[in-house]
Structure 1
Amino acid sequence: MAYANKIYSVVRTKLILLIFLFAYSIFFGQNVHGIDVSHWQGNINWSNVASDGQIYAWAKASEGMTYQDPQFADNMLNGIDAGIIMGAYHFARPDNNLAIQDAENFLNTAGAYIGAGFLPPVLDLENPYSGGQSIDLLSLFSSGELSSWVMEWSNTVESQTGIAPIIYVNGNYANYLNTSVNIYGLWFAQPDETLIPPVNIGVWNDWLFKQYSWWGEVSGIVGDVDLNIFNGGMMEFNELIGVNTTDISSDPNELRVKIFPNPVQNEVQLHGLPQEVSQIFISDLKGKIQIFQVEGNKIDVSKLSRGFYIIDVLMNNQHFQISRFQKM
């Protein structure tokens, strides 16, 4: 009987695990993981972050109407160079600034990193600190007042960039704001250390990202870091960041091509290009071809506008994506 009970217990445990994994796969598909960072994480080895399976990262750009995170530029450039999809967030200070003042500081700091190929910009709405004391915005503003501030910031950023921002809040704020804000996507803070979809998301009907941990461990970062998961697979994620990858495949066993330099100003060089490559294409992140070249491993990109581009090649009648590069 004891042996039978033991077998039953093992089978039951495995069934529970299988049910959990099945539900997990439905909820999260391809598991698009990422992090968010600020100067508190110090110098980050972004190559190690990428090797640890992190696909995207938000970096703090600004706070209030004057503060700019001293690590922002390095985080963005080094993250991009490591192949991480980067984005910028702004820490809201409605306690002492107008929304448009906060928005202008954010746009002046992060404007170059808003657009196709980047994560949407984010308004981080949570209790700020002043003099070591937490400021409860919910006691300073009515729901309508705080919602209006959020909407003015978001509308300003969207009108200036053409990209709708995302709003980061926890359950308290999600339930305090009014429904006007739910036209913008939700990044929900629920650090329960699980990948289960969030609950109690207030005036939102759905969510885009869940911040599920404040104490994560990621290679390349000393100390704790916030962990996030996207509500969808890679196809939906690429749609969110405005990247069209239709008809482009990538087989790491086929190509070992390196791009140099990256970022680039005038000429990009492809090292290790197979002889079977018959055509080279450079496309913008919406899939529109900007440069077409039949041969050679050096490409003049001096006339391209600033931004991000994808290099893919035709080899044996099949397209292969090589990499993404930044034109300065």
Structure 2
Amino acid sequence: MPVHRSGTAGRGRIAAVGILLAFLTSLLTMPGTAFAAHKPGTPARGTATMGMGVIAHDGQGGAPHETLATQTEGVDVSNYQGNVNWTTLWNSGVRWAYTKATEGNYYTNPSFAQQYNGSYNVGMIRGAYHFATPNDSSGANQANYFVSHGGGWSRDGKTLPGVLDIEWNPYGSACYGLSAAGMVSWIRDFTNTYKSLTGRDAVIYTATSWWTQCTGNSGAFGSTNPLWIARYNTSPGTLPAGWGYQTMWQYTSTGPTVGDHDKFNGAFDRVQALANG
């Protein structure tokens, strides 16, 4: 009878839907699948970039004031920017650049070659940075990983020392589950290892509020490691303990061509001096 056949077809469709739902559920819970890569609202591992937590934690103010010291414009980039138009940036006055090389001990930037070599080829002084994840492995382990994947240094007059990007954890608790003393120890492990491998003191990139919260406002690195301060406002503001001035200042994430723009605290010859060690 037609009614009987229709009911049978309906039950068949319901069964098929049930099988499909069971299959999708198995995919969602299967280790290593794209569906299980990260929690909703949490960025995927490897996507962290310089200053990604600055606006959320420190806010954003107006354009930077002019200062008495000459400032040299720079940019910082990651895989987020893809292939960068370095000629346009050079023509706009940008003279130095940092490219993300690594994160933790599990990620390398797939755009690194175009970005790192492209900035060099148009005449910029360039360097590489490492996004630290202190909950994953030791500072020494991550310094070795960084140097092995683009974070080294050469005395060619065009290469800046590597940067330790240490800031809010985009994947979990702000301080990566470490105490202030534990964080200071981790940073020291990284910077000591980096210097042993390259002969240079790593630049430390951070924000004052994070540094105060997660290191107890340690003054242990001010006499050795240049400071790159992150603050999107009219001035760099209060600096972390130990530093009397910043070497670099990331002042915006909404600049032209590339969002993250920076000022070197000095004329171009001071950028060259840092490259030359």
The TM-score, its normalising length taken from structure 2, stands at 0.70
Contact 1:114 1:163 in 2 (8 A): no
Structure 2: tracts of 5 or more residues without a match: 1-64
Aligned-partner Cα distance in 1 for 2:125–2:261:
15
Is 1:82 matched with 2:146? no
**Closer, same or farther in 2 for the Cα pair 1:112/1:146, shift >3 Å?**
closer
Instruction: Give, in angstroms, the shift of residue 113 of structure 1.
Output: 4.7
**Count of aligned positions:** 208
Aligned-partner Cα distance in 1 for 2:185–2:110:
29
Match of 1:150 among 187, 211, 234: 187
Instruction: Give, in angstroms, the shift of residue 202 of structure 1.
Output: 3.3
* Alignment partner, residue 24 of structure 1: 66
Match of 1:66 among 106, 110, 123: 106
Match of 2:89 among 49, 61, 64: 49
Aligned-partner Cα distance in 1 for 2:83–2:272:
28
Aligned-partner Cα distance in 1 for 2:275–2:243:
21
SS at match of 1:215: coil
Letter in 2 for 1:34: G
Structure 1: tracts of 5 or more residues without a match: 1-22, 244-328
* Alignment partner, residue 205 of structure 1: 244
Residues 107-146 of structure 1 aligned to structure 2 (within 5 Å): 107-115=147-155, 116-130=157-171, 134-137=172-175, 140-146=177-183
RMSD: 1.9
Contact 2:204 2:227 in 1 (8 A): yes
Aligned-partner Cα distance in 1 for 2:210–2:91:
35
Contact 1:88 1:113 in 2 (8 A): no
Contact 2:252 2:261 in 1 (8 A): yes
Aligned-partner Cα distance in 1 for 2:78–2:187:
22
Is 1:162 matched with 2:199? yes
Answer 1 or 2: higher relative contact order, Cα 8 Å, separation at least 6: 2
Aligned-partner Cα distance in 1 for 2:151–2:81:
23
- Greater share of residues in strand: 1
Aligned-partner Cα distance in 2 for 1:155–1:188:
21
Is 1:229 matched with 2:263? yes
Letter in 2 for 1:168: Y
* Alignment partner, residue 8 of structure 2: none
SS at match of 1:148: helix
SS at match of 2:188: helix
Instruction: Give, in angstroms, the shift of residue 112 of structure 1.
Output: 4.9
Is 1:189 matched with 2:230? yes
Instruction: Give, in angstroms, the shift of residue 135 of structure 1.
Output: 2.8
The TM-score, its normalising length taken from structure 1, stands at 0.60
Aligned-partner Cα distance in 1 for 2:154–2:248:
18
Match of 1:217 among 256, 260, 274: 256
Instruction: Give, in angstroms, the shift of residue 111 of structure 1.
Output: 4.3
- Greater share of residues in helix: 2
Identity across matched positions, percent: 29
Letter in 2 for 1:154: T
